[in-house]
Chain A
Amino acid sequence: MTTSLPASQIPAAIHPWFAAAMIAAVVLTSTTGEVLTAAAMKSIGDLDAIRARSGLKGAIRAVVTCPLFYAGVFFLALAFFSLLFALNHLNLSLAGPATASLTLVTNAIAAKFFLKENVDRRRWASAVLVCVGVYLLAH
């Protein structure tokens, strides 16, 4: 396929360490954000039940009055902008799955220790499969 892009728009070869650093930044910030957000939502309780009781406004109020939620959103926003930055330099089919899948593994570890979730054999096996999947994706 021919391309008419000027030379400045063709992504130059990305140094592997630079690619790794961009992906690591997304993974760390989003893991922190997701664990904090999950903790916030667990502290609020079943949103569907809250909505049935006090409507959509009540559900939104329950979320936006939870301080932990803002801590989570702060880190998720940080993760979002690092992802935007990474997408500008890497292919979507690499940056997307690589960051999201690695996040899955770091989240399994963080959820076990910080959220006390029951990460059983089934969930660890899934983490390993995802790890191999990421290796193949990035290779």
Chain B
Amino acid sequence: MAHHRLSPRQYLILGVVAVSAPLGDSCLSRGMAAMPPISLEHPGSLIAAVFTPWIALGIALLIGFFASYLTALSWADLTFVLPATAFGYVIIALLARFWLQEAISLERWAGILLITLGVGFVAQGPSLTEHPAHEETEAKEVETR
């Protein structure tokens, strides 16, 4: 009873959501790490950070992420879209390891693996809840079972 099979185009949009978010976050991390520590007493420095190149690039990527994320949310459940995008954690880990040279322990790798497994579970299910917007739609659905 796999209702709401996604079209290839919709999978593509989910792919963009998954890839652009970690890429954008990585750019932000690279930009922020290059800055002196920011304290709550000087929130202005947080605004200034927005205009440095890596952070600007990160924001551009995250705007692309947001557009595709909104599109995905218009035809799929939040609890489907979010885990489906969690595949990005694998990408973020690889980026952090090989681009930012952050060390990743075996435990963290295991955590990333479990998150990915959880994503696999959700991805196998239906993408949209049959919403009983009208009571009769729900009744009809029960009948057909």
Report Cα–Cα, A119/B37, bound state, in Å.
40
The answer to whether A8 touches B37, judged by C-beta atoms less than 8 angstroms apart, is yes
B132 closest partner in A (C-beta) = A116
Residues of A within 8 A of B78 (CB): 34-35, 38, 107, 111, 115, 117
The answer to whether B112 touches A137, judged by C-beta atoms less than 8 angstroms apart, is yes
Report Cα–Cα, A14/B86, bound state, in Å.
26
Partner of A97, one of B77, B112, B130: B112
Per-residue interface assignment for chain A, residues 92 to 121, with 1 indicating a CB less than 8 Å from any chain B CB and 0 otherwise:
111011001101100110011001111110
Number of B residues contacting the other chain (C-beta, 8 Å)?
Answer: 57
Q: A11-B37, A44-B74, A123-B79 are in contact. Are A97 and B121 (CB under 8 A)?
A: no
Q: A41-B74, A104-B82, A129-B117 are in contact. Are A134 and B49 (CB under 8 A)?
A: no
Judge whether A84 is part of the interface by a CB distance below 8 angstroms. Answer: yes
Per-residue interface assignment for chain A, residues 41 to 65, with 1 indicating a CB less than 8 Å from any chain B CB and 0 otherwise:
1101111100000000000000100
Chain A at the B interface: mostly helix, strand, loop or mixed?
helix
The answer to whether A63 touches B70, judged by C-beta atoms less than 8 angstroms apart, is yes
Interface centre among B10, B49, B97 (most CB of A within 10 A): B49
Residues of A within 8 A of B121 (CB): 122-123, 125-126, 129
B129 closest partner in A (C-beta) = A118
Partner of B37, one of A88, A111, A115, A125: A88
Partner of B115, one of A8, A42, A129: A129
Smallest CB separation, A120 vs chain B (Å): 7
New A-B contacts (17) at CB < 8 Å, excluding given A88-B35, A126-B122, A133-B118: A11-B37, A38-B77, A80-B62, A81-B46, A84-B49, A85-B46, A87-B33, A88-B33, A88-B38, A92-B102, A100-B89, A107-B78, A118-B77, A123-B83, A126-B119, A136-B110, A136-B114
B residues bordering A, Cβ < 8 Å?
9-10, 22, 25-26, 28-29, 32-33, 35-38, 40, 46, 49, 62, 70-71, 73-75, 77-79, 81-83, 86, 89, 92-93, 96-97, 100-102, 104, 107-108, 110-115, 117-119, 121-122, 124-126, 129-131
The 5 closest A-B pairs by CB, nearest first: A136-B111, A129-B118, A133-B114, A137-B111, A126-B118
25 contacts between A and B (CB under 8 A): A8-B37, A34-B78, A38-B77, A41-B73, A41-B74, A42-B73, A48-B10, A84-B49, A85-B38, A87-B28, A91-B102, A92-B92, A93-B96, A103-B82, A118-B77, A122-B121, A122-B125, A123-B121, A123-B122, A125-B121, A127-B118, A130-B115, A132-B114, A136-B108, A138-B111
